Amino acid sequence: MRSFCGSNVGGWIANAARSTASAAADASVISTGRVAAPANLRALRQVILAREPPLTLASPIARVGGMEHIGGCHCGNIHVRLRLSQPPEDNPLRACTCSFCRSHRPRIVADREGLFEVRADDWSLVENYQFGTRTCDFLICRRCGVFIAAVTETAEGTRAVVNANCLDDRERFTAAPVLHNFDGETSETRSARHAANWMPAVIRRQGL
């Protein structure tokens, strides 16, 4: 067993201090409104998401445990946490033939046994874009243009599908996206599909 002693402990403490300082500096970049993306965005997301209170939404993922992934937009305004019931490489991905998806080329993931959480430092910089049947909102950062997720309200609560490309460990989602064509769906059919197949979501809109 390796023991920490002498300079090793000092080095570990120094590294931890530098990481904390780096995250704080990155947070300053966001709070001061400068457009430049933080240098250590992953550390900043971990700090910001750790401030959130525990989720209270009843979900199987809370009982069985699962894999957690963090991510967000390029400029650091939007922060997401995605909990999945299976490893990323085992999650099926999809794409569709609509003009939006052909333009953005997302790789969509949804896990009925999982949970999606999103927050933003400034919700005025988040576009809730709708088109077509207008049965859901496409969350897009107005500053950097990253498409995060599609979100809708159902009788069972908020549901979402997530763009795996916005996750920090996106390369671990290795399944080939299955292409779907939803042309011809009515609003009622589309809403029913969302309720049946999309995942539980929590949208944190504090400060609005």
- For 78-124, write each residue's pLDDT tens digit: 999 999 999 999 999 998 888 888 888 999 999 999 999 999 999 99
Check residues 201 and 184 and name the one with the higher pLDDT. Answer: 201
Q: How confident is the model at residue 51 (pLDDT cuts 50, 70, 90)?
A: low
pLDDT, tens digit, for every residue of 115-139?
Answer: 999 999 999 999 998 887 787 899 9
Backbone angles phi, psi at 40, to 5 degrees: -115, 65
Q: How confident is the model at residue 61 (pLDDT cuts 50, 70, 90)?
A: very low
Identify the CATH class of 7-204. Answer: mainly beta
108-130 burial, b for 16+ CB within 10 Å, e for fewer?
bbbbebbbbbbbbbebebbeeee
Check residues 43 and 167 and name the one with the higher pLDDT. Answer: 167
Closest CA to 158 of 116, 122, 205, 124: 116
